[in-house]
Amino acid sequence: MRKIYVFLLSFACMCNGIAINVMYTKAAQPEQVQGLTLSKQYNDVVLDWKIVVNATEYLVFKSQANSEFIIIGKISNNQFVDSDSAHQNGSKYMVRAVNQDEQGPDSEIVFNRFLDENSGLKTAFLQRIISNLSIVLLAAIATLFILIFIKMLKNAKTIKRRR
C-alpha cells in the first residue's frame, strides 16, 4: 500500500496581490524488506529480495566475525552482488529500504555458510560414497545371513540322516 503525506501551505504576498501556494510531499516510510535470500554464484555472494513499496533505494549491510554491520552498497534494484574477495564463512547480511525522507526497518539477517567454491560438490560426492557403502554393507549382511541359513539347513539334513 503506497502512502504519501502531503502538506499544503498557502500564503498570499500582499505586495503585488499574488497568491503563492507551496506544496511539500513527504513519502511514507518504506516497509521492511521481505524475502531476503543469499546464494553463491562462482566466487560471489548474491542477495535477492522482494521489491518494497515507497522505496527508492536499498542499503546493503554486511558483518564479518561478529563485528558491527557496515554499509557495503546503496542500490536502486532488488539484487546485490558482493564480489568482495574476503568472503568469510559466517558473514551476515541485511538490507534496509529507504526513500528521500525515511528509512524502513532492517530486514531479517541471512548468513553466508559456504565453505568454499567446491563444498557443494564435495558434499554431494561424500553423500554418494556413503550411500554406496551403505548398499555394499547391506548386501554383505544379507549374504552373511543367507550363508548362515544355508549352513543351518545342511546341518538339519545331516541330523535327519543320522537318525
pLDDT, tens only, 95-141: 999 998 889 999 999 988 764 555 555 566 667 777 788 888 888 89
CATH superfamily of 31-111: Immunoglobulins (2.60.40.10)
Give tens-digit pLDDT for 38-90. Answer: 988 887 889 999 999 889 999 999 998 778 999 999 999 999 999 875 666 77
Residue 22 has which C-alpha cell? 507551496
Residue 146 C-alpha cell reads as 543367507
**What are the structural domain ranges in the chain?**
31-111, 118-163
- 144 vs 116 pLDDT, higher one: 144
User: Which string of DSSP letters, residue by residue, matches 99-129?
Assistant: -SS-EEEE---EE----STTHHHHHHHHHHH
Q: How far apart are CA 17 and CA 80, in angstroms?
A: 54
Q: What is the pLDDT of residue 101?
A: 87
